Structure 1
Amino acid sequence: MIEYLSPSKQHTELYLTQYGMEECLPGHFFGPAVRTHYLLHYILEGEGIFEVGGHKYVLGKGQGFLICPGVITYYQADQGNPWTYCWIGFNGTLAESLLRKAGLSLSSPILCYERDDAIYESILLMSQSQSYRHARETRLTGLLYAMLSMLMEFSSNKLPTPSESRAEIYVEQVQLFIENNYAQKITVGDIAHVIGLNRSYLCALFHQRMNRSIQDYLIRYRVNKACEMMGNLELSIGDISRSVGYTDPLLFSKMFKKVKGSSPRHYRTLSQAQLKV
Protein backbone atom coordinates (compact mmCIF):
# COMPACT_ATOMS: atom_id res chain seq x y z
CA MET A 1 0.00 0.00 0.00
CA ILE A 2 1.32 3.43 -0.93
CA GLU A 3 -0.28 6.80 -1.53
CA TYR A 4 1.39 9.92 -2.91
CA LEU A 5 -0.03 13.32 -2.00
CA SER A 6 0.05 16.68 -3.75
CA PRO A 7 2.19 19.43 -2.18
CA SER A 8 0.30 21.36 0.49
CA LYS A 9 -1.06 24.82 -0.19
CA GLN A 10 -2.43 25.28 3.32
CA HIS A 11 0.08 23.72 5.68
CA THR A 12 3.54 24.88 4.60
CA GLU A 13 4.96 24.40 8.11
CA LEU A 14 4.38 20.62 7.99
CA TYR A 15 2.71 18.43 5.41
CA LEU A 16 2.61 14.84 4.18
CA THR A 17 4.00 13.89 0.77
CA GLN A 18 3.28 10.16 0.98
CA TYR A 19 2.59 7.26 3.32
CA GLY A 20 2.50 3.52 2.93
CA MET A 21 3.14 0.01 4.18
CA GLU A 22 4.99 -2.91 2.58
CA GLU A 23 5.75 -6.56 3.34
CA CYS A 24 9.12 -6.86 1.62
CA LEU A 25 10.44 -9.84 -0.26
CA PRO A 26 13.76 -11.38 0.90
CA GLY A 27 16.65 -9.10 -0.13
CA HIS A 28 14.37 -6.33 -1.43
CA PHE A 29 16.38 -3.09 -1.55
CA PHE A 30 16.19 0.55 -2.53
CA GLY A 31 19.11 2.80 -3.45
CA PRO A 32 21.64 4.15 -3.30
CA ALA A 33 19.32 7.11 -3.89
CA VAL A 34 18.47 10.64 -2.78
CA ARG A 35 15.08 11.89 -1.60
CA THR A 36 13.63 15.38 -1.85
CA HIS A 37 11.71 15.16 1.46
CA TYR A 38 11.95 13.49 4.86
CA LEU A 39 11.07 9.81 4.89
CA LEU A 40 10.61 7.94 8.16
CA HIS A 41 10.39 4.13 8.07
CA TYR A 42 9.16 2.08 11.03
CA ILE A 43 9.70 -1.70 11.18
CA LEU A 44 6.65 -3.78 12.14
CA GLU A 45 8.22 -7.23 11.71
CA GLY A 46 11.46 -8.77 10.45
CA GLU A 47 14.92 -7.32 9.92
CA GLY A 48 17.06 -5.40 7.45
CA ILE A 49 19.93 -2.95 7.04
CA PHE A 50 20.09 0.82 6.57
CA GLU A 51 23.20 2.60 5.27
CA VAL A 52 23.91 6.33 5.36
CA GLY A 53 27.06 8.44 5.57
CA GLY A 54 29.37 5.44 5.73
CA HIS A 55 27.44 3.87 8.62
CA LYS A 56 25.56 0.57 8.46
CA TYR A 57 22.72 -0.19 10.87
CA VAL A 58 21.12 -3.61 11.39
CA LEU A 59 17.53 -2.99 12.46
CA GLY A 60 14.49 -4.95 13.56
CA LYS A 61 10.97 -4.72 14.96
CA GLY A 62 10.27 -1.57 16.98
CA GLN A 63 13.04 0.38 15.27
CA GLY A 64 13.09 2.66 12.27
CA PHE A 65 15.25 5.00 10.24
CA LEU A 66 15.07 8.57 9.01
CA ILE A 67 16.03 9.58 5.48
CA CYS A 68 16.82 13.29 5.17
CA PRO A 69 16.41 15.33 1.97
CA GLY A 70 19.41 15.39 -0.36
CA VAL A 71 21.26 12.55 1.42
CA ILE A 72 22.35 9.29 -0.27
CA THR A 73 20.92 6.24 1.51
CA TYR A 74 20.52 2.51 0.92
CA TYR A 75 18.32 -0.02 2.68
CA GLN A 76 17.68 -3.74 2.19
CA ALA A 77 15.43 -6.41 3.70
CA ASP A 78 17.08 -9.41 5.35
CA GLN A 79 17.31 -12.55 3.22
CA GLY A 80 16.04 -14.91 5.92
CA ASN A 81 13.69 -12.66 7.88
CA PRO A 82 12.68 -9.76 5.59
CA TRP A 83 11.10 -6.77 7.21
CA THR A 84 7.61 -5.41 6.95
CA TYR A 85 7.54 -1.66 7.48
CA CYS A 86 5.34 1.39 7.23
CA TRP A 87 6.54 4.85 6.33
CA ILE A 88 5.60 8.50 6.07
CA GLY A 89 7.10 11.09 3.76
CA PHE A 90 6.79 14.72 4.80
CA ASN A 91 8.32 18.16 4.60
CA GLY A 92 7.79 21.74 5.74
CA THR A 93 9.55 24.56 7.56
CA LEU A 94 9.00 22.91 10.97
CA ALA A 95 9.95 19.37 9.94
CA GLU A 96 13.61 19.48 10.95
CA SER A 97 13.05 21.10 14.35
CA LEU A 98 10.22 18.70 15.25
CA LEU A 99 12.34 15.71 14.29
CA ARG A 100 15.21 17.01 16.41
CA LYS A 101 12.89 17.22 19.40
CA ALA A 102 12.20 13.52 18.84
CA GLY A 103 15.96 12.85 18.78
CA LEU A 104 16.08 12.30 15.02
CA SER A 105 18.48 14.01 12.61
CA LEU A 106 21.01 13.29 9.88
CA SER A 107 23.63 12.46 12.53
CA SER A 108 21.11 10.46 14.61
CA PRO A 109 18.82 8.72 12.09
CA ILE A 110 17.67 5.66 14.07
CA LEU A 111 14.26 5.53 15.74
CA CYS A 112 13.48 3.28 18.72
CA TYR A 113 9.79 3.00 19.64
CA GLU A 114 8.56 -0.22 21.27
CA ARG A 115 5.83 1.25 23.49
CA ASP A 116 2.76 0.20 21.49
CA ASP A 117 1.28 -0.02 17.97
CA ALA A 118 0.51 3.69 17.72
CA ILE A 119 2.70 4.34 14.66
CA TYR A 120 1.03 1.52 12.72
CA GLU A 121 -2.39 2.75 13.84
CA SER A 122 -1.54 6.28 12.68
CA ILE A 123 -0.83 4.97 9.18
CA LEU A 124 -4.18 3.17 9.19
CA LEU A 125 -5.94 6.40 10.20
CA MET A 126 -4.20 8.20 7.34
CA SER A 127 -5.55 5.66 4.86
CA GLN A 128 -9.05 5.99 6.36
CA SER A 129 -8.93 9.76 5.79
CA GLN A 130 -9.85 9.16 2.14
CA SER A 131 -13.48 9.47 3.24
CA TYR A 132 -12.88 13.17 4.03
CA ARG A 133 -14.08 15.21 1.05
CA HIS A 134 -13.25 18.78 2.07
CA ALA A 135 -10.81 18.60 4.96
CA ARG A 136 -8.57 15.66 4.19
CA GLU A 137 -5.37 17.70 3.99
CA THR A 138 -6.00 19.19 7.42
CA ARG A 139 -6.88 15.73 8.79
CA LEU A 140 -3.61 14.26 7.47
CA THR A 141 -1.58 17.16 8.81
CA GLY A 142 -3.18 16.67 12.22
CA LEU A 143 -2.31 12.97 12.20
CA LEU A 144 1.28 13.80 11.23
CA TYR A 145 1.58 16.28 14.09
CA ALA A 146 0.09 13.70 16.46
CA MET A 147 2.58 11.04 15.38
CA LEU A 148 5.58 13.35 15.76
CA SER A 149 4.37 14.56 19.16
CA MET A 150 4.11 10.94 20.26
CA LEU A 151 7.70 10.30 19.17
CA MET A 152 8.85 13.47 20.93
CA GLU A 153 7.19 12.28 24.13
CA PHE A 154 7.95 8.56 24.17
CA SER A 155 10.71 7.53 21.75
CA SER A 156 13.81 6.23 23.54
CA ASN A 157 16.29 7.76 21.08
CA LYS A 158 15.97 11.31 22.45
CA LEU A 159 19.28 12.89 23.43
CA PRO A 160 19.64 14.77 26.72
CA THR A 161 19.05 18.46 26.18
CA PRO A 162 22.03 20.60 27.28
CA SER A 163 21.20 23.04 30.08
CA GLU A 164 21.91 25.97 27.75
CA SER A 165 19.37 24.63 25.26
CA ARG A 166 16.81 24.02 28.02
CA ALA A 167 17.15 27.65 29.11
CA GLU A 168 16.46 28.83 25.57
CA ILE A 169 13.43 26.55 25.35
CA TYR A 170 11.98 27.90 28.61
CA VAL A 171 12.49 31.50 27.47
CA GLU A 172 10.80 30.72 24.15
CA GLN A 173 7.90 29.10 26.03
CA VAL A 174 7.45 32.25 28.13
CA GLN A 175 7.49 34.44 25.02
CA LEU A 176 5.05 32.18 23.19
CA PHE A 177 2.68 32.03 26.17
CA ILE A 178 2.66 35.83 26.40
CA GLU A 179 2.15 36.14 22.63
CA ASN A 180 -0.90 33.87 22.80
CA ASN A 181 -2.39 35.12 26.07
CA TYR A 182 -1.40 38.78 26.54
CA ALA A 183 -5.06 39.82 26.10
CA GLN A 184 -6.03 37.77 29.16
CA LYS A 185 -5.54 38.59 32.83
CA ILE A 186 -2.37 36.53 33.29
CA THR A 187 0.32 36.63 35.95
CA VAL A 188 3.92 35.48 36.13
CA GLY A 189 2.68 32.71 38.42
CA ASP A 190 0.30 31.53 35.68
CA ILE A 191 3.17 31.39 33.20
CA ALA A 192 5.41 29.42 35.57
CA HIS A 193 2.57 26.98 36.33
CA VAL A 194 1.89 26.27 32.64
CA ILE A 195 5.59 25.79 31.85
CA GLY A 196 6.01 23.62 34.95
CA LEU A 197 8.84 25.47 36.69
CA ASN A 198 9.27 27.14 40.05
CA ARG A 199 8.29 30.80 39.72
CA SER A 200 11.52 32.20 41.21
CA TYR A 201 13.70 29.88 39.10
CA LEU A 202 11.89 30.79 35.89
CA CYS A 203 12.10 34.52 36.66
CA ALA A 204 15.84 34.30 37.34
CA LEU A 205 16.44 32.25 34.20
CA PHE A 206 14.41 34.64 32.01
CA HIS A 207 16.15 37.73 33.43
CA GLN A 208 19.55 36.16 32.85
CA ARG A 209 18.77 35.44 29.20
CA MET A 210 16.72 38.55 28.34
CA ASN A 211 18.16 41.14 30.74
CA ARG A 212 14.67 42.05 31.92
CA SER A 213 11.97 40.52 34.08
CA ILE A 214 9.02 38.52 32.77
CA GLN A 215 6.69 41.18 34.14
CA ASP A 216 8.53 43.93 32.27
CA TYR A 217 8.50 41.85 29.08
CA LEU A 218 4.74 41.30 29.44
CA ILE A 219 4.07 45.01 30.02
CA ARG A 220 6.14 46.05 27.01
CA TYR A 221 4.54 43.42 24.82
CA ARG A 222 1.06 44.62 25.76
CA VAL A 223 1.96 48.29 25.22
CA ASN A 224 3.48 47.56 21.81
CA LYS A 225 0.34 45.68 20.82
CA ALA A 226 -1.72 48.64 22.01
CA CYS A 227 0.37 50.95 19.80
CA GLU A 228 -0.46 48.76 16.81
CA MET A 229 -4.18 49.29 17.56
CA MET A 230 -3.96 53.08 17.88
CA GLY A 231 -4.45 53.58 14.15
CA ASN A 232 -7.92 52.02 14.33
CA LEU A 233 -10.03 55.03 15.31
CA GLU A 234 -13.08 52.84 15.84
CA LEU A 235 -11.40 51.60 19.01
CA SER A 236 -11.51 53.85 22.04
CA ILE A 237 -8.60 53.95 24.48
CA GLY A 238 -10.75 51.84 26.81
CA ASP A 239 -11.33 49.30 24.03
CA ILE A 240 -7.60 49.06 23.41
CA SER A 241 -6.92 48.76 27.12
CA ARG A 242 -9.24 45.75 27.42
CA SER A 243 -7.86 44.23 24.20
CA VAL A 244 -4.35 44.02 25.66
CA GLY A 245 -5.32 42.62 29.06
CA TYR A 246 -5.97 45.73 31.19
CA THR A 247 -9.50 45.98 32.62
CA ASP A 248 -8.44 49.11 34.55
CA PRO A 249 -7.90 52.03 32.11
CA LEU A 250 -5.94 53.98 34.72
CA LEU A 251 -3.48 51.11 35.18
CA PHE A 252 -3.20 50.79 31.41
CA SER A 253 -2.44 54.51 31.09
CA LYS A 254 0.18 54.27 33.84
CA MET A 255 1.93 51.28 32.18
CA PHE A 256 1.72 52.88 28.75
CA LYS A 257 3.33 56.10 29.95
CA LYS A 258 6.04 54.11 31.74
CA VAL A 259 7.02 52.44 28.46
CA LYS A 260 6.33 55.17 25.88
CA GLY A 261 6.80 58.32 27.93
CA SER A 262 3.34 59.72 27.16
CA SER A 263 -0.28 58.87 27.80
CA PRO A 264 -2.14 56.63 25.33
CA ARG A 265 -4.33 59.53 24.21
CA HIS A 266 -1.34 61.83 23.60
CA TYR A 267 0.50 59.05 21.78
CA ARG A 268 -2.50 58.51 19.48
CA THR A 269 -2.78 62.25 18.75
CA LEU A 270 0.90 62.48 17.81
CA SER A 271 0.67 59.34 15.65
CA GLN A 272 -2.32 60.71 13.74
CA ALA A 273 -0.57 64.05 13.22
CA GLN A 274 2.49 62.32 11.80
CA LEU A 275 0.31 60.38 9.36
CA LYS A 276 -1.15 63.61 8.03
CA VAL A 277 2.27 65.19 7.37
Structure 2
Amino acid sequence: MGKYEGKKVVITGGSTGFGLVTARLLVDEGARVLITGRGQDALDAAAERLGGNAVAVRSDAGELAEIDALADRVKAEFGTVDALFANAGINGFAPFEETGEELFDQLMAINAKGPYFTVQKLAPLLAEGSGVVFTTSVVNVLGIPALSAYAAGKAAVRSMTRSLARELLPRKVRVNAVSPGPIDSGILLKSMPREAAEQMKAGMAAENPMGRVGRPEEVARAVLFLAFEATFTTGAELAVDGGGSQI
Protein backbone atom coordinates (compact mmCIF):
# COMPACT_ATOMS: atom_id res chain seq x y z
CA MET A 1 0.00 0.00 0.00
CA GLY A 2 1.34 3.42 -0.97
CA LYS A 3 1.89 6.23 1.49
CA TYR A 4 -1.01 8.24 0.04
CA GLU A 5 -3.31 5.33 -0.78
CA GLY A 6 -6.90 6.53 -0.99
CA LYS A 7 -6.03 10.23 -0.71
CA LYS A 8 -7.72 12.67 -3.09
CA VAL A 9 -5.72 15.72 -4.11
CA VAL A 10 -6.35 18.73 -6.36
CA ILE A 11 -3.38 20.51 -7.94
CA THR A 12 -3.98 23.68 -9.95
CA GLY A 13 -1.21 24.32 -12.41
CA GLY A 14 -0.45 20.62 -12.34
CA SER A 15 0.33 19.97 -15.99
CA THR A 16 3.96 21.15 -15.87
CA GLY A 17 6.78 22.02 -13.48
CA PHE A 18 6.69 21.11 -9.84
CA GLY A 19 2.91 20.85 -9.96
CA LEU A 20 3.27 17.88 -12.29
CA VAL A 21 6.12 16.42 -10.26
CA THR A 22 3.99 16.66 -7.10
CA ALA A 23 1.18 14.86 -8.92
CA ARG A 24 3.60 12.15 -10.03
CA LEU A 25 4.83 11.54 -6.48
CA LEU A 26 1.24 11.32 -5.23
CA VAL A 27 0.07 8.93 -7.94
CA ASP A 28 3.11 6.72 -7.41
CA GLU A 29 2.08 6.38 -3.76
CA GLY A 30 -1.54 5.53 -4.42
CA ALA A 31 -3.35 8.87 -4.44
CA ARG A 32 -5.98 10.01 -6.89
CA VAL A 33 -5.11 13.42 -8.32
CA LEU A 34 -6.98 16.04 -10.30
CA ILE A 35 -4.70 18.48 -12.10
CA THR A 36 -5.54 21.66 -13.96
CA GLY A 37 -3.83 23.75 -16.59
CA ARG A 38 -4.65 26.22 -19.33
CA GLY A 39 -2.97 24.42 -22.22
CA GLN A 40 -4.76 21.34 -23.54
CA ASP A 41 -1.65 19.82 -25.11
CA ALA A 42 0.30 20.00 -21.84
CA LEU A 43 -2.69 18.59 -19.96
CA ASP A 44 -3.01 15.67 -22.36
CA ALA A 45 0.70 14.90 -22.05
CA ALA A 46 0.53 15.10 -18.26
CA ALA A 47 -2.52 12.83 -18.12
CA GLU A 48 -0.71 10.25 -20.23
CA ARG A 49 2.31 10.36 -17.93
CA LEU A 50 0.25 10.12 -14.75
CA GLY A 51 -2.04 7.29 -15.80
CA GLY A 52 -5.46 6.21 -14.67
CA ASN A 53 -5.36 7.66 -11.16
CA ALA A 54 -5.21 11.20 -12.55
CA VAL A 55 -7.89 13.47 -13.97
CA ALA A 56 -6.79 16.41 -16.14
CA VAL A 57 -9.11 19.41 -16.38
CA ARG A 58 -8.58 22.50 -18.51
CA SER A 59 -9.16 25.49 -16.26
CA ASP A 60 -7.96 29.09 -16.23
CA ALA A 61 -7.04 30.08 -12.66
CA GLY A 62 -7.74 33.73 -13.43
CA GLU A 63 -11.38 33.23 -14.47
CA LEU A 64 -13.98 32.93 -11.71
CA ALA A 65 -16.47 31.10 -13.92
CA GLU A 66 -13.87 28.43 -14.62
CA ILE A 67 -13.01 28.14 -10.92
CA ASP A 68 -16.71 27.57 -10.21
CA ALA A 69 -16.81 24.90 -12.90
CA LEU A 70 -13.68 23.33 -11.43
CA ALA A 71 -15.31 23.06 -8.00
CA ASP A 72 -18.28 21.28 -9.58
CA ARG A 73 -15.96 18.87 -11.38
CA VAL A 74 -13.96 18.15 -8.22
CA LYS A 75 -17.16 17.43 -6.31
CA ALA A 76 -18.32 15.06 -9.04
CA GLU A 77 -14.97 13.26 -9.26
CA PHE A 78 -13.92 13.12 -5.61
CA GLY A 79 -16.72 14.26 -3.34
CA THR A 80 -14.25 15.41 -0.69
CA VAL A 81 -10.60 16.43 -0.95
CA ASP A 82 -7.69 15.59 1.36
CA ALA A 83 -5.27 18.19 0.01
CA LEU A 84 -5.37 21.22 -2.28
CA PHE A 85 -2.21 22.56 -3.87
CA ALA A 86 -3.11 26.03 -5.18
CA ASN A 87 -0.12 26.26 -7.47
CA ALA A 88 -1.29 27.79 -10.75
CA GLY A 89 0.63 30.91 -11.64
CA ILE A 90 2.52 32.79 -14.31
CA ASN A 91 5.72 34.78 -14.39
CA GLY A 92 6.15 38.26 -15.75
CA PHE A 93 9.33 40.28 -16.19
CA ALA A 94 9.26 44.03 -16.76
CA PRO A 95 11.07 47.00 -15.24
CA PHE A 96 8.87 49.06 -12.94
CA GLU A 97 8.79 51.97 -15.40
CA GLU A 98 7.65 49.68 -18.22
CA THR A 99 5.05 47.61 -16.36
CA GLY A 100 1.72 48.24 -18.01
CA GLU A 101 -1.81 47.77 -16.75
CA GLU A 102 -2.39 44.67 -18.88
CA LEU A 103 0.62 42.81 -17.45
CA PHE A 104 -0.17 43.95 -13.91
CA ASP A 105 -3.81 42.84 -14.14
CA GLN A 106 -2.88 39.49 -15.67
CA LEU A 107 -0.36 38.74 -12.94
CA MET A 108 -2.78 39.69 -10.18
CA ALA A 109 -5.68 37.78 -11.73
CA ILE A 110 -3.81 34.50 -12.03
CA ASN A 111 -1.31 34.74 -9.16
CA ALA A 112 -3.44 36.34 -6.44
CA LYS A 113 -7.14 36.36 -7.31
CA GLY A 114 -6.96 32.84 -8.71
CA PRO A 115 -5.62 31.04 -5.64
CA TYR A 116 -7.86 33.04 -3.30
CA PHE A 117 -11.06 32.03 -5.06
CA THR A 118 -9.82 28.51 -5.76
CA VAL A 119 -9.59 27.92 -2.03
CA GLN A 120 -12.90 29.69 -1.40
CA LYS A 121 -14.78 27.55 -3.92
CA LEU A 122 -13.15 24.27 -2.90
CA ALA A 123 -13.27 24.89 0.86
CA PRO A 124 -16.66 23.16 1.26
CA LEU A 125 -15.08 20.00 -0.17
CA LEU A 126 -12.02 19.95 2.11
CA ALA A 127 -12.11 17.04 4.52
CA GLU A 128 -11.45 17.55 8.22
CA GLY A 129 -7.70 17.45 8.79
CA SER A 130 -6.90 18.32 5.18
CA GLY A 131 -4.16 20.67 4.08
CA VAL A 132 -4.07 23.59 1.67
CA VAL A 133 -0.72 24.62 0.20
CA PHE A 134 -0.20 27.85 -1.72
CA THR A 135 2.77 28.59 -3.96
CA THR A 136 4.38 31.89 -3.03
CA SER A 137 7.94 32.87 -3.97
CA VAL A 138 11.08 34.17 -2.33
CA VAL A 139 10.56 37.37 -4.32
CA ASN A 140 7.87 38.33 -1.80
CA VAL A 141 10.68 39.17 0.64
CA LEU A 142 13.47 40.10 -1.79
CA GLY A 143 13.65 43.25 -3.87
CA ILE A 144 14.47 41.87 -7.32
CA PRO A 145 14.45 44.19 -10.34
CA ALA A 146 11.87 43.62 -13.09
CA LEU A 147 9.62 41.53 -10.84
CA SER A 148 7.74 44.17 -8.87
CA ALA A 149 4.23 43.22 -10.03
CA TYR A 150 4.92 39.49 -9.80
CA ALA A 151 6.37 39.94 -6.32
CA ALA A 152 3.36 41.96 -5.20
CA GLY A 153 1.04 39.14 -6.23
CA LYS A 154 3.12 36.56 -4.40
CA ALA A 155 3.23 38.77 -1.30
CA ALA A 156 -0.57 38.86 -1.43
CA VAL A 157 -0.59 35.07 -1.42
CA ARG A 158 1.72 35.05 1.62
CA SER A 159 -0.74 37.31 3.42
CA MET A 160 -3.78 35.23 2.51
CA THR A 161 -1.95 32.13 3.77
CA ARG A 162 -2.11 33.61 7.26
CA SER A 163 -5.65 34.96 6.92
CA LEU A 164 -7.17 31.79 5.49
CA ALA A 165 -5.26 29.65 7.99
CA ARG A 166 -7.10 31.50 10.74
CA GLU A 167 -10.48 31.42 9.00
CA LEU A 168 -10.35 27.72 8.15
CA LEU A 169 -9.28 26.61 11.62
CA PRO A 170 -12.87 25.91 12.71
CA ARG A 171 -13.06 23.37 9.85
CA LYS A 172 -9.80 21.75 11.04
CA VAL A 173 -8.13 22.66 7.73
CA ARG A 174 -4.49 23.77 7.72
CA VAL A 175 -3.23 26.40 5.26
CA ASN A 176 0.47 26.83 4.52
CA ALA A 177 2.68 27.99 1.66
CA VAL A 178 5.75 26.73 -0.12
CA SER A 179 8.12 29.48 -1.24
CA PRO A 180 10.39 28.38 -4.09
CA GLY A 181 13.59 30.16 -4.95
CA PRO A 182 15.48 29.43 -8.17
CA ILE A 183 14.02 26.13 -9.37
CA ASP A 184 14.72 24.54 -12.75
CA SER A 185 11.02 24.05 -13.45
CA GLY A 186 10.98 25.21 -17.07
CA ILE A 187 8.98 28.36 -16.32
CA LEU A 188 11.75 30.65 -17.63
CA LEU A 189 11.53 29.02 -21.06
CA LYS A 190 7.88 30.02 -21.22
CA SER A 191 8.66 33.71 -20.80
CA MET A 192 11.97 34.26 -22.62
CA PRO A 193 14.25 32.80 -25.31
CA ARG A 194 16.26 29.68 -24.38
CA GLU A 195 19.65 31.44 -24.41
CA ALA A 196 18.41 34.18 -22.09
CA ALA A 197 16.76 31.60 -19.81
CA GLU A 198 19.99 29.60 -19.55
CA GLN A 199 21.99 32.73 -18.77
CA MET A 200 19.53 33.72 -16.06
CA LYS A 201 19.60 30.22 -14.57
CA ALA A 202 23.40 30.23 -14.49
CA GLY A 203 23.38 33.62 -12.78
CA MET A 204 20.90 32.45 -10.16
CA ALA A 205 23.03 29.38 -9.42
CA ALA A 206 26.14 31.49 -9.00
CA GLU A 207 24.40 33.79 -6.52
CA ASN A 208 22.75 31.04 -4.48
CA PRO A 209 24.35 30.00 -1.15
CA MET A 210 24.21 26.34 -2.26
CA GLY A 211 25.73 27.20 -5.63
CA ARG A 212 22.95 25.66 -7.70
CA VAL A 213 19.31 25.94 -8.66
CA GLY A 214 16.78 23.60 -7.12
CA ARG A 215 15.01 20.61 -8.62
CA PRO A 216 11.22 20.39 -8.96
CA GLU A 217 11.27 17.25 -6.79
CA GLU A 218 12.64 19.33 -3.91
CA VAL A 219 9.64 21.64 -4.05
CA ALA A 220 7.23 18.72 -4.44
CA ARG A 221 8.52 17.01 -1.30
CA ALA A 222 8.07 20.24 0.67
CA VAL A 223 4.50 20.53 -0.63
CA LEU A 224 3.67 16.99 0.46
CA PHE A 225 5.18 17.62 3.88
CA LEU A 226 2.98 20.68 4.38
CA ALA A 227 -0.10 18.98 2.95
CA PHE A 228 0.07 15.77 4.95
CA GLU A 229 2.86 15.60 7.54
CA ALA A 230 2.91 19.05 9.16
CA THR A 231 -0.17 18.40 11.27
CA PHE A 232 0.65 21.07 13.90
CA THR A 233 1.60 23.76 11.38
CA THR A 234 -0.67 26.36 9.81
CA GLY A 235 -0.14 29.86 8.42
CA ALA A 236 3.52 29.09 7.72
CA GLU A 237 5.71 29.61 4.67
CA LEU A 238 8.43 27.06 3.90
CA ALA A 239 11.28 28.43 1.77
CA VAL A 240 12.78 25.99 -0.73
CA ASP A 241 15.50 28.22 -2.07
CA GLY A 242 18.96 26.96 -1.18
CA GLY A 243 19.07 29.51 1.63
CA GLY A 244 18.81 32.48 -0.71
CA SER A 245 16.17 34.31 1.30
CA GLN A 246 17.50 33.23 4.68
CA ILE A 247 21.29 33.51 4.86
TM-score band, normalised by shorter chain: under 0.3
Which has the greater radius of gyration? 1
TM-score for both structures, normalised by structure 2 = 0.24
TM-score for both structures, normalised by structure 1 = 0.22
Identify the structure with bigger relative contact order (alpha carbons < 8 Å, sequence gap 6+): 2
More strand by share: 1
